[in-house]
Structure 1
């Protein structure tokens, strides 16, 4: 949420944005989608046509940019024409998906890069690091996928799917003739095994189970016939259809391993980084050819992938996908400029120089729109005592400030978001003010950006009894000087810039900000423990098109309810007894939204949630960068869309081909 977005969006759900400061990035594959002192990754909607101009590969503008706030990007947002739905063709007894793009030429390699870290495994279901998850997504397919133009769920390995009127029964039917890379048939038994054994029993990465379960309960999955499965969820759960994108595992390979005495440990090591590539059995367009640690990963096209071009020839076109492992973004840029890479995301600071190199470097810059990631300031609204120390988590004086809506909204109007966009992102980004990204079909378009208005901010503070005195400092109604300790992840030039800007902007109101950059792990521990006052933070959804992805952030008992995080008991359960009225309403809205199938009604529900967050300001949203991707002109059928930002536009890797220089 990815090398091929319809195989990846289910893998990673909401996680702390700044955690990526310490994670590897898969450049050309979308893991760079979040700003971490570098920038990248975006999603949005827009309209454009391509041009031959050296300084602009795209000509017209996009409404999504304005939805995200003010933006002065020199590149308009991509919006290629929708090629329409996939067609199915029977080829040698197999139901094949027919490509939607012009017929290309077979052969050649596409070269991308991985930043910083080697993949730890090629076992999708055991993968927990970003590099492994993203690479493995090229190797395995799921029952459904997401259309990169519409965001709608469409069949992938499934020939069809159906949701019964009861809202809890889902029937899927596999395509005829699907086979694993070793020639064994892919059947409904593989589907049932994946769900009932691997996921339900918690083999490998148990977070997959957390994503696909409903209120902690797994759906029942039964085999109807060789191609058909029936899923029954414990109750109506609207997002469940999207979870059917979870990759299917080869039962004939994995089940014997699980039956061993050391089954769980053996499964965890299955297809680890030291594997013999010949042992890897896949269903995706590629399989592993070679992995040279700290140097490169090579994927080889399979011969039995379930897709053909318009002439009936089996895809993919590209014989190999190459991923060079590079130490840092600067080295990555040098490799692209040295013609060692075919595709790479571009940091905002590098756009101006690359704009003038498009013709000589034989590439184009593509703007995939504002990122789905959010960067924000939050204040610790926890009003409780620490059960171990019997002292308040937050100084009671400051807790009153943080729990005052006027105080939070004053900060909202005092922050100069446009300055971040203009000075740090060089116009390659947008101001941010909503909980849902503008790319989401549930985005509340009635909400408008907050204006930078220090005078209005001061009037809000005065309503709550705050006064700026002759010494230039702000005091509350009890005479306490307003001074706040703000945490930020160390090592991020972006967070450093925003933090220093906050010091300046808040000084205009008389508020003293003490900025404390911390190692991410230390910062994360402090936030989780409740030992903090104010924090510069960020989140990124695994699925920007599904608001329920944020349930663990907005529900009062959510593990990521960061602004007022309740502690779990010894059994891991979180309870909330001091819920604010608007938090209670958010709890209700997210429960209703998850159980409502009608899209229009869901939109109303999620509009209200966004309005509440907008009004109450538990998060003070700041900015979002844009995803700019540089792609060689030799790449044909490369058609980036605003919903393919997690793949850096390579949503159709099976149909991309490479022309001679």
Structure 2
């Protein structure tokens, strides 16, 4: 999705440039422009482009900088973005998009803004699917057979087969062909991933020495200039400090409030506490490359050993739901008939003994002279209170059944390197957030085992592979539901993860921010309509 060539968008040697956009008209909603909004994030983004990004902090920023061909409105309806209209063939295998002609890319320092065209769309697709581009998006778009430029403002995608809800998948972000330094594929070493340009409502202005990311309003945004002049993303290594920054007016918003801080914020009339239903869950994942963890009985023993309800109540004020399998509980794919394993340490010990382990003199289980000693890697910059309590409780639960767990807290980029590239871990603690809650192929299909892919635990099961493919191929929604319910049951039994919980998400923001609508996955999808009354602008 990002490749770049110095194509000046000039037709071969001719002097007729593709039409540049006129200045976008201001919004006509009567709301004032002006003011700045700063928001707190727990951690820093690894990249700022929509292709190599693989965590939510980055994704939220790309939502402000880039656009897709289509988008989703507040009613969850598909609406036009860079494509102003589209046609779908009667057999559901050809999608033709007619692009807007009044869109320009954010200008780089000292350069004129360049026009957006079909070349950028084809470029993005080819770069996204290039074998050397490391991205989790490939599997999501494997259903596309060809992408073709019809003319300067028309593109045609041919599908390998009709699929359910195909149109919504064309919301992938488009990048400029003059953006990346390599014209063929995108890597994290490319300067574009840290200094991107898009077509979206906000332009990346600069990144400060403190790693604050400053975005300014795009005066020529094709939907109309966004109301708020400046948005600043501020990283925090400690959630408690982030909450205090909100309370003392150092920031205006927190995108994800620590559940333990909800009562404090709720009791302050200056702030709005807004729930949003993200499709997400947390888990402990097990590296199947470790022979000890390749045994399903060991993984299942760990799930029996953990008192999830106790942790949820103690560390998150009970603000969540215990889960039993690989789908978020708010998803139609979730199998309610599969119950979470109960807390049963005696059953856990029995399973370990069944797997051939015996307790040593030091209390640690061992098998054939090898101790059940494992490394747990956790992706944070510093141990936040809630996360530290979860992992230390997990360590103690497993100690009670004879497993020795050492905990390593890693800065997110280092965690990414260790887990996604080097597979240097035994257990991880992490969370998934879904936009398509019924598609778990990236997590559990064996083709997704590889560097920088999401099946980093190395899980492989031919039956699961077959069911995932069958789920993707069917056009019958009820059949797909049945397949996914079976997938849920198998993965709950296999325990590649100890599935934990889905937390209730809350954002908190100062009441000066108005008309704040939040996308449950991308968060900032509607931020160009947010505004600050003139009397409260600073």
Inter-CA distance 337–480: structure 2 relative to 1 (3 Å threshold): same
Asked if 2 retains the 8 angstrom alpha-carbon contact of 1:374 and 1:540, the reply is: yes
The residue aligned with 1:194 is 124
Inter-CA distance 547–132: structure 2 relative to 1 (3 Å threshold): closer
Candidates 589, 606, 611, aligned match of 2:467 = 589
Q: CA deviation at 1:366?
A: 2.1
| Ranges in structure 2 where 5+ consecutive residues have no aligned partner | 3-20, 107-111
Q: CA deviation at 1:590?
A: 0.9
The residue aligned with 1:484 is 372
In the alignment, the residues of structure 1 paired with residue 369 and residue 206 of structure 2 have an alpha-carbon distance, to the nearest angstrom, of 62
Inter-CA distance 272–371: structure 2 relative to 1 (3 Å threshold): closer
Q: How does 1:423-438 map to 2 (within 5 A)?
A: 423-438=314-329
SS at match of 1:644: coil
Q: CA deviation at 1:143?
A: 0.2
Alignment of 1:227 onto 2:153: yes
Q: Can you list the C-alpha shifts for 1:419-463, whole angstroms capped at 9, x where unaligned?
A: 1111112223332322111233423333334433557x3797499
In the alignment, the residues of structure 2 paired with residue 316 and residue 463 of structure 1 have an alpha-carbon distance, to the nearest angstrom, of 62
Asked if 2 retains the 8 angstrom alpha-carbon contact of 1:162 and 1:171, the reply is: yes
The residue aligned with 2:138 is 210
Asked if 2 retains the 8 angstrom alpha-carbon contact of 1:238 and 1:593, the reply is: no
Q: Can you list the C-alpha shifts for 1:168-189, whole angstroms capped at 9, x where unaligned?
A: 4222222454444556543333
Q: CA deviation at 1:394?
A: 2.4
The residue aligned with 2:249 is 339
Alignment of 1:418 onto 2:312: no
SS at match of 1:589: helix
Inter-CA distance 155–596: structure 2 relative to 1 (3 Å threshold): farther
- Across the two proteins, how many residue pairs are aligned to each other? 499
Candidates 370, 373, 394, aligned match of 2:281 = 373
Candidates 391, 399, 402, aligned match of 1:512 = 402
Q: How does 1:229-308 map to 2 (within 5 A)?
A: 229-236=155-162, 241-251=167-177, 253-254=178-179, 268-269=190-191, 273=195, 282-294=198-210, 296-307=212-223
In the alignment, the residues of structure 1 paired with residue 46 and residue 419 of structure 2 have an alpha-carbon distance, to the nearest angstrom, of 28
The residue aligned with 1:81 is none
Inter-CA distance 237–105: structure 2 relative to 1 (3 Å threshold): same
In the alignment, the residues of structure 1 paired with residue 312 and residue 322 of structure 2 have an alpha-carbon distance, to the nearest angstrom, of 7
Q: Can you list the C-alpha shifts for 1:245-269, whole angstroms capped at 9, x where unaligned?
A: 2222345x459x768xx9989x933
Inter-CA distance 528–122: structure 2 relative to 1 (3 Å threshold): closer
The residue aligned with 1:140 is 66
Q: How does 1:111-130 map to 2 (within 5 A)?
A: 111-113=38-40, 117=44
Cα RMSD of the aligned pairs, angstroms, is 4.6
Q: CA deviation at 1:610?
A: 0.9
The residue aligned with 2:435 is 544
Q: How does 1:487-502 map to 2 (within 5 A)?
A: 487-489=375-377, 492=383, 494=386, 496-502=388-394
Q: CA deviation at 1:535?
A: 2.2
Alignment of 1:160 onto 2:85: yes
The residue aligned with 1:619 is 497
SS at match of 2:215: strand
Q: CA deviation at 1:621?
A: 1.1
Candidates 99, 108, 113, aligned match of 2:35 = 108
| Ranges in structure 1 where 5+ consecutive residues have no aligned partner | 1-9, 12-91, 274-279, 308-313, 383-392, 566-578
Inter-CA distance 586–95: structure 2 relative to 1 (3 Å threshold): farther
The residue aligned with 2:8 is none
Inter-CA distance 168–294: structure 2 relative to 1 (3 Å threshold): same
Give TM-score scaled by structure 1 length. 0.63
Alignment of 1:172 onto 2:82: no
The residue aligned with 1:348 is 259
Inter-CA distance 540–239: structure 2 relative to 1 (3 Å threshold): farther
The residue aligned with 2:481 is 603
Asked if 2 retains the 8 angstrom alpha-carbon contact of 1:442 and 1:545, the reply is: no
Asked if 1 retains the 8 angstrom alpha-carbon contact of 2:52 and 2:193, the reply is: no
In the alignment, the residues of structure 1 paired with residue 90 and residue 393 of structure 2 have an alpha-carbon distance, to the nearest angstrom, of 53
Asked if 2 retains the 8 angstrom alpha-carbon contact of 1:486 and 1:536, the reply is: no
Candidates 511, 515, 523, aligned match of 1:633 = 511
Which protein has greater RCO, CA pairs closer than 8 Å, 6+ apart?
1
Q: CA deviation at 1:301?
A: 1.9
Asked if 2 retains the 8 angstrom alpha-carbon contact of 1:440 and 1:544, the reply is: no
In the alignment, the residues of structure 1 paired with residue 211 and residue 465 of structure 2 have an alpha-carbon distance, to the nearest angstrom, of 48
In the alignment, the residues of structure 1 paired with residue 204 and residue 419 of structure 2 have an alpha-carbon distance, to the nearest angstrom, of 41
The residue aligned with 1:70 is none
Q: CA deviation at 1:586?
A: 0.8
SS at match of 1:346: coil
The residue aligned with 2:532 is 658
Inter-CA distance 497–485: structure 2 relative to 1 (3 Å threshold): farther
Give TM-score scaled by structure 2 length. 0.75
